């Protein structure tokens, strides 16, 4: 199961959301496995229940699957997945950037585009 930790820079305590079997970063929204919107990006911060956060972290190991992109399959495993502003990180390396004009995510290394990034836990045997 996964937990999302929404964090500020210092003063306020983080907000922990979960557990959930998966989540998606769909455009400027984070949605849970059932499709409920958990957070929205307003161009600078992630907003949850009218509270603004600079970053979102999810400890792994996790797998990442791109939706609405050429068939790249599942990527990972990654030790960590996070979002800071309009950038997604996998294992603390830049993974993708959000483009407000086409409401999609652009992969950093390949420049492929996708509509959503699905994150699931690695199933341990």
Query: Given pLDDT bands bounded at 50, 70 and 90, which one contains residue 8?
Result: confident
Closest CA to 24 of 72, 73, 81: 81
Cβ partners under 8 Å of residue 95, min gap 6: 64, 81, 87, 88, 89, 107, 108, 117
Q: Does residue 125 contact residue 6 with C-beta atoms inside 8 Å? A: no
Contacts of 9 (CB under 8 A, 6+ apart): 54
pLDDT at 71: 64
What is the percent of the chain where pLDDT is above 90? 68
pLDDT of residue 122: 95
pLDDT band at 10 (very low <50, low <70, confident <90, very high): low
Q: What is the mean pLDDT of residues 11-17?
A: 88
């Amino acid at each position: 199961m996964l937990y999302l930790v929404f964090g500020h820079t210092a003063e306020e305590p983080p907000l922990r959301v979960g557990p959930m079997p998966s989540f998606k970063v769909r455009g400027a929204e984070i949605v849970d496995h059932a499709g409920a919107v958990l957070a929205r990006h307003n161009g600078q911060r992630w907003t949850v229940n009218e509270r603004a956060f600079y970053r979102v972290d999810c400890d792994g190991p996790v797998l990442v699957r791109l939706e609405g992109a050429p068939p790249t399959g599942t990527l990972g495993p990654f030790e960590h997945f996070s979002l800071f502003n309009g950038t997604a990180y996998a294992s603390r390396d830049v993974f993708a950037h959000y483009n407000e004009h086409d409401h999609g995510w652009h992969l950093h290394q390949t420049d492929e585009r996708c509509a959503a990034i699905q994150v699931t836990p690695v199933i341990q045997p």
